[in-house]
Amino acid sequence: MLYFLFFNECVANNSSDLESIENNPKIINDIPSDMYWFSFFMGLLKDVKENEKFVYGKVFAYHGYADFKINKNDIDNLESKTQGAIRTIKHNISIIKYSSDYSQQKKSAIQRLYEITGSNFDSYEKWDDWFINNQKNLVWSNKLDQLVIKIVMNKL
């Protein structure tokens, strides 16, 4: 609690966000890049800003929003973005499995899966089958802004 009071005091005294990050590293949580992307895809980030070195803002956690920062170079890692998207897929497939057929939560999860994969299924079984069959070959495409299935051709 003292850390949050101190952070609020810095903001109240018009300290710059950059000064708060660089001078008080304990008050802001560093997050791994795959967690950043999971949170991004799930819509759990807010008040996101950036400077030359960091992206920072608030991320929703079990107890509410917490301040975070991440090095900008870490976000550009394609493998991390892929892993964050795959984690998002797993989470949303689980939501579909345990949600009632007509719930808004299920509709939102299906929409999120469509946005990340470009595939459109309406049931847990179809999404689960798709994921089991493709998970080892999924890779993020910045050009298409979604996960794609990498096809490996065997030489004859």
What are the distances in angstroms from CA 61 to CA 10, 26, 42, 124?
23, 17, 12, 26
Average pLDDT over residues 126-137: 96
Model confidence band, residue 34 (pLDDT cutoffs 50, 70, 90):
very high
Residues 28/69, Cβ–Cβ less than 8 Å = yes
Is residue 88 within 8 Å of residue 42, measured between CB atoms?
Answer: yes
Higher pLDDT, 93 or 30: 93
Confidence of residue 151 (pLDDT cuts 50, 70, 90): confident
**What are the boundaries of each domain within the chain?**
2-75, 78-149
pTM: 0.78
**Rounded distance, CA 101 to CA 156, Å?**
46
- pLDDT tens, 61-116? 888 999 999 999 999 889 999 999 999 999 999 999 999 888 999 999 999 999 99
Residues near 50 by beta carbon (within 8 Å), at least 6 away in sequence: 56, 72
- Given this model, what pLDDT does residue 93 score? 97
